Amino acid sequence: MKGERKHQRSESRGPDGDTPARKAIKLSDHRQEQKDEDELMTAADIYFEEGGLQRIHPYFFKFATHAKGRWVGRTILEVFRSEFRDRPPGYYEPAIAQGIIEINNERVGPSTVVRNGDLVTHFIHRHEPPVTTQPLTIVQETDSGLLIVDKPGSIPVHPSGRYNYNSVVKILEKKHGYRALHPINRLDRLTSGLMLVGLNANVARRMENDLSSHRIQKEYICKVKGVFPTGRIICDQPIRVIAHKLSLNCVDPNEGKPSLTEFELLSVDDDQMHSVVYCRPKTGRTHQIRVHLQFLGYPIANDPLYCNTEVWGDNLGKNGELPLALPPLSELPTPTDTSAAETPAAPSPPPPAPTEEAKPPAGKDKKMNKMAGTTSASLLTDESRATWGPLVSRMENWKTKQELAILVDVPTDADAPRKCDKCSDPFMPDPTPDQLYIWLHAWRYSGPGWSYETKLPAWASGATEHIDRVKYQKESA
């Protein structure tokens, strides 16, 4: 009866509840609780290596956010079914009934209406994707509080999405003992190389100002498809974001932002299939090097976004040309055992309510703001949709097919259970080595009175003798 009375009280809440200040305190208290529990976790509690990958022991975690404006007036079940993509629709009603989803730290029913300022929480069993075992290397730490690291591919800079402990910030905290980190330059997850991290806000602010004022020179190395031309090649095509959700950026002469990158050939592989190229971006657009190389007709050879014939066609977007018709996508994979490998829309049982001893939420809380039911193409303006809509749709279709292919490839042998015994999530197959990184490496950063560089990655070893020549020319220029 006690639980029923609590449920009824939650269902009949009036519009007058906590003040905004009180609600802010609730979220602040929740974040402090997560932080305190995270600090008790050691690297030995979190990380282990298996099968050539760095893995994270699964753990319970509570996501929390204040209700978005578009949620207000809708039921909690409607909000989760329409707004979140990480679970099938059939998961949410039982999860609400079990108290895995709460409002203002209270159990509610599926028909509870979300009100302005409500604190919505979702307690989950979290499985992080594995990353490379290649270590995050400390290149140097300065007396002024600047940390220079060499980041391997496959590791994101910040906790985001499915990644938390397998991120640069968390690895530096848990394995190296650093605190209060301020990343200055942010590399993509698949990009390797040099990162500048401030150990205090002042040095981070100063370095960020130098970056935005173009007082810091950035030099990258990449490996592209084909034989790159000799001499200094300059691409100054403007770049715009086409779809934030897909991290898709393209050259757009009309709406793009000014962008400029210098390229120079370093070496060509013996088979004449690939070239190692020196890159010097003069501006800092998202994916700038990757987009400019694609435009020139020499995309990074293992780039899943910009060297993808299934999305861009055989021309791969050279000179900004887009295929007019939607290319025929190969058939979506069909699971042979639908009871074990469900599509994202299929219902699956919710996780059991966690016991007290199995409640170690850990890590930094993250706002639950993934949108579902809204395509990236539908977010374009009417004018842009005519140009970019087909491309965005092709990219979305391709990504959906990859997700389904992963479900089909879920392990089936007797020694590898299909689902987690705590949350019923299917165990995903490991990434293959070529899915851990792209052939793009942040090699050297230089500023007023300083310069730091990393070793060349193995895939660029043939360019070692040439990189010194290019580096010397840039220093002498």
pLDDT tens-digit map of 138-182:
999 999 999 999 999 999 999 988 899 999 999 999 999 999 999
Q: Could you tell me which residue, 433 or 295, shows the higher pLDDT?
A: 295
Instruction: Taking residues 13-40, report their average pLDDT.
Output: 55
Per-residue pLDDT at 345: 32
For residue 183, the model assigns a pLDDT of 97
Report how far apart, in Å, the C-alpha atoms of 238 and of each of 257, 289, 291 are: 5, 12, 10
Give the tens place of pLDDT for each residue, 439-476: 999 999 999 989 999 999 999 988 888 887 777 455 54
In the structure encoding, which two tokens stand for residue 425, read together? Answer: 């999530």
pLDDT tens readout for residues 270-283: 999 999 999 999 99
Average pLDDT, the chain: 81
The answer on pLDDT for 4 being more than 80 is no
Reported as a single tens digit per residue, the pLDDT across 353-408 is 333 333 333 333 333 333 334 455 544 555 667 788 888 888 888 888 877 776 66
- For 313-368, the pLDDT digits (tens) are 899 999 999 876 554 555 444 444 333 333 333 333 343 333 333 333 333 333 33
- The catalytic position among 38, 118, 188, 303 is 188
pLDDT tier, 267 (very low <50, low <70, confident <90, very high otherwise): very high
Is 210 catalytic? The answer is no
Are 260 and 268 in contact, with CB atoms under 8 Å apart?
no
The pLDDT of residue 414: 55
Q: How does 271-295 read in b/e, with b if 16+ C-beta sit within 10 Å?
A: eeebbbbbbbbeeebbbbbbbbbbb
> CA of 330: how far to CAs of 323, 336, 375, 394, 405, in Å?
17, 18, 21, 12, 12
